Structure 1
Amino acid sequence: MKNIIIAFVFIFHACSVCSQSKLNENLNQLRKIKPFSFLYLHHDKDIYTNNEKIWFSAYLLNTPNPIAEHKLLNVALVNEQTRKSAVSQKFVITDGLSSGFVLLPDSIPPGNYQLMAYSNVLNAQNLPIAQFRSSIKVFNISQPTFTSRITWLDTLIKNGAMRFQVNIDGLDANRKAVVSLNYQLGADFSKSIKIDRKQTTISIPEHLLKQNTTLLLNVNVDGEVQYHTKLIPTQEKQKLNVKFYPEGGALVADLQSRVGWEVTTADGRPLSLKGMLMKNNEALYEVSTNNYGLGSFVITPNDGAEYSVRLQPGVYASEGINIKLPAQSTDTDITLHIPKAVLNDSLRFIIASKQVKPIQMMLHNDSGDYVLLKGNTNASTNVNNISIEALQKGLNTITILDASGKPLAERLFFAHHNQQDLSQNIKIEKENYNIRDSVKLKLKLSDMEGKAASGIVSVSVVQNNRLSTKTANIEHYFYLNNSLNELPANPSGNGLQDKEYLENILLIKGWRRYTAVLQALNRDSVFMVKENIMSGAVFNGQKPLKKAVNLISFGSIKTGIIETNTDGSFNLRNDDIMVERNNNVFLRVGVDKNNYDFKIADALLPITNALVSKMKPTIFESLLNHQENSILKNLQNVIALKDVEITVKKGAMYGTKGEAGANECGDYVSVHHYLNYPGTPLSGRLKPIKNTPYLTRTDLQGSQFKVERVWYTGCLTENEKMGIAIAGINTGKEYYMAVEDDGGLQYHSTLYWQSGMVTNASGEIPISFKAGDIADDFSIIVQGISNKGLVNMKETFKISDKP
């Protein structure tokens, strides 16, 4: 439905003058400024460990420009504390679909991360029009050869500083280890020092100590790193962010209004607390927020009176703190109230006014659909019911305007909440399996009449303890996150079906006025398509070239010759750096063996940096005002993982190994973790993993030999040493199961992953896989798109180690 205008007499009287042309102008402007596009990444889980892969499938829908212009998907994993990208890869988008994986390095620090993705089409502000982000946690489960501890020696600032102590245990007394420490405060300060002892004390100057700042400490012993996260001890009562949202947008003197309010800590954590509503310092009644940090109350403000909420004392609120409510508005003299904003087929709303006046009412959404109704108010309270059959399912807005088109009040509502166009089912043979059993299941899609539906989906089978309440699903993201951005976590993990949660969100998080967007961005949006994103230059001894040279590229699907300009600069077409499976493309200067230097520029890097600068920390849990002041626990202890053997088996002290055989440099690892040991039989050689610790053994005399620890920095062939490696653009044409059954022990939290699965003529997809060696509860998660709507299915089963 597009631009449907309905003449409708409501509240008894017809409108004599209405500015329809002005409304259309504003709506068209709004659609240009805030184009509705939808990008979603289904990734296999949201809790990972080092050396695991993040498998994903991307779905791009509802773009305001031709979808064929969206050719590239940039995926980056960003550390929330350091605001640095740990992994970044590019993938091909074809017909709005993309898939692949990113590999978490062994050295990735544990902590909270955000998985960001965007396409190559930008708006006038040089930001992607299609963006996605979700929250994940990363744990490091490599078994260390030493232990380290961090302890605050001071809980208050003394002599202009605070001190913490680092202790290192488990090192042999005769070992001449090289120990270095790197500590970082937020994203603004970082320092590295070397120490020659097992204990040291570090002082942090007062000017670096900020409220809710996290101390990140890395302890590096001979290349082996341990990570610590500590919140700086609180120097004062926790500061709160308290916001009030009068329903409709404003408080009006002598008219009853409902007021939503939200309370979070300074670092954004939802806070459940109680308070007293005050009028001129006189107590009226108690108000409170729930576990989402949200609440509401009803008030009829008197002209000239001052209202506030006095917070109940506790860990986060001191005695007598008063937070003022917004003053009564002078811009509007009506209020709007919707008793229930989660709707099926009709909208009931109440308009209270002080006088008779012509108004207009508009129902609209981000897609640009709208319905316009006209009428007059009465000098009283008016209850109205209208059908919303013509509106599409999802978030819609009711805006009340005066005769000139000026907004007076506004409210969000969710239309057709109970509407179902797609029947989805996962049929699994049984609920309980033994380890190594064959698991078979069938997915089925159909319309509400039972006729087969066609669709394309991605399927993840994952251990339950790798999922959290922040786990995204395509329906929730489409209907809520895509329009409302940051939302508090819903304990059930399915906020879209939790009506109480949804009512709170629509009252508070969804409060907005479309004219505010118009005033802030009063200009047309121009879409810019970033085509070939990589460029570079060749230097000879750091000096520009004086004549063009030919570059040989290899490692990509299309190996060829690239000619530079006379100054050594060159541009790379996307086709020049296409790879099949997260490989690098290498460039070198012909057969010339001079020492050339390369510089490479990525046109998407500034865009990633701009998105990172706007990144907000993830809030995984809410707090109670009366609970102890333990805001941030050690990240490794937030969620206890049951399958710690998945990367390092019991007794192993060194890194993991890759596929059978040696790599193209001839490097290999024995089953006993020795790197390039000559006595290793060919059948026992495995490919080493970059940035992983191994052992080296040198035979000295007879049975005597020396064993040392070494970090494998990667394979560099002679060609690569003379050139430069560039991360290629992944085509995603090949699909792989997340886990290959090689006959060995299978300690994998993701048992199965597959993208691009298409239903057959019966609307079905048969799936089979092997249960692994982890006895635990698992979830089957299916997400995607169909000709009848979004696909979002989940089923659970259990794997037992007993018959």
Structure 2
Amino acid sequence: MPKTILSLLLVACSFFSTAQTAVPDKIVDALDSFSFIRPQEKAYLQTDRNGYVAGESIWFKTYTLLNERPTILSKVIYVDLVNQEGSIVEKKMLKLKNGTASGVMDLKTDIPAGAYQLRCYTLWMLNFPDFIFVKQVSIFSNTKNDKATNNAVAAATLKLSFFPEGGSLVAGVKSTVAFKALDAGGNPVSVNGDIINTKNEKVATFKSVHDGMGNFEFTPLTGETYKAVVQTGPGTSKDVPLPASKNEGIVLSADNSSAGKIFIKVTRAEKNKDKYNNLLLVAQLNYQVAYVGKLNMDEGLDAAAINKKNFPSGILQITVLTEAGQPLAERLVFISNYNPGNPLLQATTTDLDKRKKNVWVLDAAGFSDLQAAVSITNAGSGNGQYAPGILSSFLLSSDLKGNIHEPGYYFKDKEPETLQHLDLLMMVHGWRRYNLEEIMANRFPPLHYPFETGLSITGKVMQSNGKSVLKDGKINLVIRGEDSTRIMAEGKTNESSVFVVSDLEFRKSAAVYYQGTNVSKNEAIVSVKIDSAYFDTLARTAPNDVLMANTVSVPLLEKMASEKATTDTGKSKTLREVVLRAKKRSVADSLNLLYASDLFFNSDQTLTLNPNINYYDMWQFLRMNVPGIAINQTDTGTQVNFSRYQGIELFSENTTDNSVQFFLNEVAVNISLIESLDPSDVAMVKVYKGNTGIALGAIRGAIAIYTTKGKSTRDWRQKGFDFFNRSGYSANREFYEMDYSKVKQETVDQDIRTTLYWNPEIKVKDGKAIIEFYNDDVCKKYKVVVEGMDKNGRLLHAEKEVQ
């Protein structure tokens, strides 16, 4: 427990006798037990933007917290792209390091237009589905006849909900009632109307003040019922009943408008008032009891002031309980003790002219080991003014039920109006972390998924009948990764015949050869059962219907999609995110269709190895088949370049470093791995020069080598090995940064990049991070967004626009 919260709690509890502290102690023990047995991770996914054209790439970085610090439990995170039917159209599995991971998701050129969801989560988080991070992205088609679908229902269907402060209306007690109005698509709607009793008398009026939310005060009477009459149009209205009032009980109200304190007031009804004389007031924040106080209504002790200055930022749950620990009323308030990040981000050079350099500086002196990413995008590319951010996700959305419209709005500043709207949000959204009554009774949700500390292979080695336990079982594994990883491992069974082979690491996929044995009886026949991997079985999920309701209109992307549909033929030097996919696929190139993804499909040469020639190594094959290649082998290593290729000097004004980038099965690899490659394992070689190389982030050219699918130079099955395929960590690549100090401008006909710059690993030196990028040909307004967290869990969100 943080020292500041613990000290405040000890002071508050000092006013209680031993008997009176039984309930607070029970709450503390229940929260400690729950957070220990059911620790809840949170995830956030930062993307370069929120709108894309089919065929583009989604660049992203994930952040995962456990108890408000980078997680130390899960080491694997998943990112899914889900369509409106719940089908997973793209998925990534990444290795977490210091709670973060970065990657890229390439959208297929024929992906249907519409609203999609990106989900980000660890396997452990599947035990708590409410904590899975979800955000909407809009995808626009580059096919003329493919229009974005829209599932929105007519806005005339109004849903109006009322939320009495504290949870209930009580007859004879003045109450504040918050409300929220939504259309059928889940979008906020402005409303106004009157509160009417059964005598058709107006007792209150109401009007929304922000995103369909507002509040009003009134005093319900015993035996009376009330309804809201909402104006839905000229001369039309709709009646909505208010929650029924109780004949006895309490009303809890909270005033969070002060900078330093939260003022609490409890009022009881006259009926059976003695039942509500001695009460407990408990406030909890991040599984920690932050305040405990005693109320005695007869003695006038019906209010409290909670000092919040030293509290961490987040949602404070305030509960009034009976002496026996029965909750009576609850209120959520938000602690806004975070430091705004915008002052930390300052421009030193801004220039919106074509292809001009811009420089920004981030002051990171207040962060310890900052892990941060920066995205710089054309401001018209669909990021949204108040899109979800790392602050709104970790501090707000992850702890509240339901969809929050434009959550970034509540962190744009700390002006009184913004904080007032945030307080309204607290009143109309439910708490999702836990139910206090449930955990005090030790009723915890069941667990179905473990923490993942890395890639692993699990299963059972049984006796030959496949049923009887084998205590002395063992499995031998030979793993041949698509990235040329070679792993030999073994695992022994426990008393339940279960084996676990963990801490594996390979990318893309691997062929896993296995053989089970009985340690005591080597010749005995055994039965092996391999458990399926979650990632390999992932195909469908339940989409968030509210987020799927609408496709956001982004004129810039719609225009780009339309232009691409019209001009997407032949060769093109137009840079759209510097990922060029303008060539039409050749049906005759069956190997290219079989092996190459969209990103790698277009190349200057596609080569196959002649089976009648026994090549000594890959260098021999490349020398014989690639014009203009220079392979220089020395005692210090091998260097490969295209310096003899005609026109290659156009790619760089500095030709001192002109090494070719190698990819093995589309994974960037070191040249030493190519040297050890057996040519007989190679199915295809693709050569990239000029713009095709730039598309891969290799301005000095690239060579992609593909090994034969399913082929192994040594067939382990001949020695009694069976095999299966298993997915590894998703391959990643660097964002290509257009640097006009290295690329001659005349070599690029047109530069149109919706994402001007993306860097998932900002480098901090002497407390500063320098961010440099070049503008494209069309951008007249761009947005800079920096997000991250440090090793202590301090969050950063800084956002600036230039026009």
TM-score band, normalised by shorter chain:
0.5 to 0.7
- Within 5 Å, which residues of 2 pair with 1:367-766? 367-378=287-298, 382=302, 384-415=304-335, 417=336, 420=339, 424-447=343-366, 455-466=370-381, 467-469=383-385, 471-490=387-406, 493-495=409-411, 497=413, 498-510=418-430, 514-515=435-436, 518=439, 522-523=443-444, 528-530=450-452, 532=455, 553-560=480-487, 578-579=506-507, 583-585=508-510, 601-604=532-535, 609=540, 612-613=541-542, 615-618=544-547, 635=551, 639-641=555-557, 644=560, 648=564, 651-653=567-569, 656-657=580-581, 665=591, 718-720=708-710, 727-730=727-730, 735-737=734-736, 743-744=747-748, 745-761=750-766, 763-766=767-770
The residue correspondences of 1:117-266 to structure 2 (distance < 5 A) are: 117-121=120-124, 126-127=127-128, 131-142=132-143, 144=144, 147=145, 226-227=146-147, 229=149, 238-266=156-184
Q: Which moved more, 1:21-30 or 1:276-285?
A: 21-30
How many residue pairs align between the two structures?
A: 636
Rounded Cα–Cα distance in structure 1 between residues aligned with 2:128 and 2:536: 12
SS in structure 2 at match of 1:746: strand
1:217 aligned partner: none
The Cα of 1:111 is off from its aligned counterpart by 1.2
* Structure 2 contact 280–295 (Cα < 8 Å) conserved: yes
The secondary structure found in structure 1 opposite 2:396 is: helix
- How much does 1:264 deviate? 1.9
| Corresponding letter in the other structure for 2:450 | M
Q: 1:59 to 1:534 in 2, by over 3 A?
A: same
Q: Which residue of 2 aligns with 1:329?
A: 246
Q: Secondary structure at the match of 1:641?
A: helix
Q: CA deviation at 1:31?
A: 3.4
Show the counterpart of 1:115.
118
Query: Whole-Å Cα distance in 2 between the matches of residues 788 and 233 of structure 1?
Result: 41
Change (3 A) 1:257 1:380: farther
SS at match of 1:69: coil
Contact 2:57 2:107 in 1 (8 A): yes
- For residue 794 of structure 2, what is the amino acid of its counterpart? G
Q: 2: distance between equivalents of 1:16 and 1:520?
A: 19
Question: Which structure 2 residues correspond to residues 264-303 of structure 1 after superposition, within 5 A?
Answer: 264-284=182-202, 285-303=204-222
Give yes or no for the alignment of 1:304 onto 2:223: yes
User: What do residues 670-696 of structure 1 show as CA deviations (whole Å, max 9, x unaligned)?
Assistant: 999999899x999899x9x99xxxxxx
- Inter-partner Cα distance in structure 2 for 1:65 and 1:500: 28
Question: Cα deviations across residues 262-295 of structure 1 (Å, max 9, x unaligned)?
Answer: 2223332222222221111513143233451222
* Alpha-carbon shift at residue 502 of structure 1 (Å): 0.5
Secondary structure of residue in 2 paired with 1:338: strand
SS in 2 for 1:556: coil
Distance 1:556 1:576, change over 3 A: farther
1:347 to 236, 257, 262: 262
Partner AA of 1:756 in structure 2: E
**8 A Cα contact 1:457 1:782, kept in partner:** yes
1:584 Cα deviation after fit: 4.6
Judge conservation of contact 1:664–1:717 (CA < 8 Å) in 2: no
- Partner residue in 2 for 1:102: 105
Asked whether the equivalents of residues 54 and 102 of structure 1 are also in contact (C-alpha less than 8 Å), the reply is yes
Supply the AA of the counterpart residue of 2:320: I
Q: 2:60 aligns with which of 49, 52, 56?
A: 56
Distance, in Å, in 1 between the alignment partners of 2:485 and 2:408 is 48
Percent identity for Structure 1 against Structure 2: 19
Do the aligned partners of 2:52 and 2:557 also contact (CA within 8 Å) in 1? Answer: no
Give the partner amino acid of 1:603: Y
Please tell me the residue identity of whatever aligns with 2:371.
I
Unaligned runs of 5+ in 1: 148-225, 538-547, 591-597, 621-631, 691-713, 799-803
Whole-angstrom CA distance in 2 between matches of 1:320 and 1:587: 66
Mapped to 1, the partners of 2:20 and 2:458 lie a distance apart of: 58
1:578 is paired with a residue of what secondary structure?
A: coil
Cα distance in 1 for residues equivalent to 2:161 and 2:581 = 52
Residue deviations 1:634-680 (CA, integer Å, cap 9, x gap):
x4855443761799497333695399x999957899999999899x9
Match of 1:768 in 2: 772
Question: Cα offset for 1:13?
Answer: 11
- After TM superposition, the structure 1 = structure 2 runs for residues 42-53 of structure 1, keeping only pairs within 5 Å, are 42-53=46-57
> Does the Cα contact within 8 Å between 1:549 and 1:564 map onto a contact in 2?
yes
How far apart are residue 727 of structure 1 and its match?
A: 4.6
Query: Which residue in 2 is equivalent to 1:543?
Result: none
Paired letter, 1:322: D
Shift of residue 578, structure 1, vs aligned partner: 1.6
Q: Distance in 2 between matches of 1:797 and 1:320?
A: 45
Q: Determine if contact 2:117/2:548 at 8 Å carries over to the other structure.
A: no
Please state whether the residue corresponding to 2:169 is helix, strand or coil: coil
Tell me the TM-score normalized by structure 2: 0.67
- Tell me by how many angstroms 1:369 deviates: 3.6
- Cα deviation digits, residues 669-724 of structure 1 (max 9, x gap): 9999999899x999899x9x99xxxxxxxxxxxxxxxxxxxxxxx99865448998
1:556 aligned partner, one-letter code:
D
Higher helix share: 2
- Is the Cα–Cα contact under 8 Å of residues 376 and 784 in structure 2 kept in the other structure? yes
Question: Does the CA-based 8 Å contact 1:18-1:360 persist in structure 2?
Answer: no
In structure 2, do the counterparts of structure 1 residues 646 and 230 end up closer, same or farther at CA, with 3 Å as the change threshold? closer
CA–CA distance in structure 2, aligned partners of residues 259 and 313 of structure 1: 21
| Residue 91 (structure 1) aligned with residue 94 (structure 2) | yes
CA distance in 2 between counterparts of 1:727 and 1:470 reads 37
In structure 2, stretches of 5+ residues that fail to align are 461-474, 493-497, 516-528, 572-579, 609-625, 629-644, 649-662, 667-703, 713-722
In the alignment, the residues of structure 1 paired with residue 793 and residue 152 of structure 2 have an alpha-carbon distance, to the nearest angstrom, of 52
1:458 Cα offset (Å): 0.9
CA contact (8 A) 2:457 2:530 kept: no
Distance 1:140 1:574 in 2: 42
Which deviates more, 667-676 or 358-367?
667-676
Q: Tell me the distance in 1 between the aligned counterparts of 2:260 and 2:755.
A: 41
* Partner in structure 1 of residue 577 of structure 2: none
Distance 2:436 2:369 in 1: 40
Mapped to 1, the partners of 2:459 and 2:754 lie a distance apart of: 41
The residue type equivalent to 1:134 in the other structure is: K
More strand, by proportion: 1
Change (3 A) 1:400 1:719: closer
Letter of the aligned partner of 1:74 in structure 2? Y
CA shift for structure 1 position 495: 4.3
Q: Relative to 1, partners in 2 of residues 1:523 and 1:488: Cα closer, same or farther, differing over 3 Å?
A: closer
Is 2:354–2:777's contact at 8 Å kept on the other side of the alignment? yes
Closer, same or farther: CA 132–789 of 1 in aligned 2, 3 Å? same
- 3-state secondary structure, aligned to 2:485: coil
CA RMSD across the alignment: 4.9
2:526 corresponds in structure 1 to none
**Structure 1 stretch displaced more, 346-355 or 249-258:** 346-355
